[in-house]
Amino acid sequence: MRKLINLPEPDNRLKTSLITTLVLLILSSMWIFYDLYAYLGMRANPVPEEFPDNGLGIGIIIRLVLYASFAFMMFYAFKSGLKTSTLTVICVLTGVVSGIAVVLDWAALVDIYHDYRGAGGCSMEWTWLFISLAFQLIFCITGLMLVFNLMKGKAIAATSVKPVINEAFYEITQYVGILCGLAGLTFTVFADISLHEWASRNWLINLILFYCLVIILPWLLMVISWLLKFARRVELSMYDEKQKHDLELSGLTAWLVSIPVMAVVFLFDYPEPGSATGFLWLPYYLFSTLFIFSLSLLLRFRKG
By the rule CB under 8 A, 165 interacts with other proteins: yes
d(CA 122, CA 21): 34
By the rule CB under 8 A, 12 interacts with other proteins: no
d(CA 65, CA 62): 5
Minimal CA–CA distance to 298: which of 259, 255, 253?
A: 253
Residue 140 neighbours by CB under 8 Å, 6+ apart = 25, 28, 29, 32
State the Cα torsion 167-173-175-176 to the nearest 10°. Answer: 160
d(CA 253, CA 259): 10
With contacts defined by CB under 8 A, name the span among 202-210, 224-232, 234-242, 279-287 that binds other proteins: 234-242
- H/E run at residue 122: none
d(CA 243, CA 241): 5
With contacts defined by CB under 8 A, name the span among 135-143, 162-170, 172-180, 257-265 that binds other proteins: 162-170
Find the binder of other proteins among 236, 252, 256, 263 (CB under 8 A). 236
Find the binder of other proteins among 223, 242, 252, 263 (CB under 8 A). 242
With contacts defined by CB under 8 A, name the span among 24-32, 55-63, 160-168, 289-297 that binds other proteins: 160-168
Q: Which long-range CB contacts under 8 A does 115-121 form with residues at least 24 apart?
A: 116/46, 116/47, 116/48, 117/48
By the rule CB under 8 A, 241 interacts with other proteins: yes
By the rule CB under 8 A, 159 interacts with other proteins: yes
Quick check: 88 and 169 in contact, CB under 8 A? no
By the rule CB under 8 A, 163 interacts with other proteins: yes
- Residue with smaller CB distance to other proteins, 86 or 159: 159
Q: How far is the CB of 300 from other proteins (least distance, A)?
A: 9
With contacts defined by CB under 8 A, name the span among 16-24, 126-134, 165-173, 224-232 that binds other proteins: 165-173
By the rule CB under 8 A, 304 interacts with other proteins: yes
Neighbour count for residue 66 (Cβ, 10 Å): 26
- Residue with smaller CB distance to other proteins, 114 or 242: 242
By the rule CB under 8 A, 2 interacts with other proteins: no
- Residue with smaller CB distance to other proteins, 111 or 167: 167
- Give the interface with other proteins as residue ranges (CB under 8 A): 157, 159, 161-165, 167, 170, 236-237, 240-243, 245, 301, 303-304
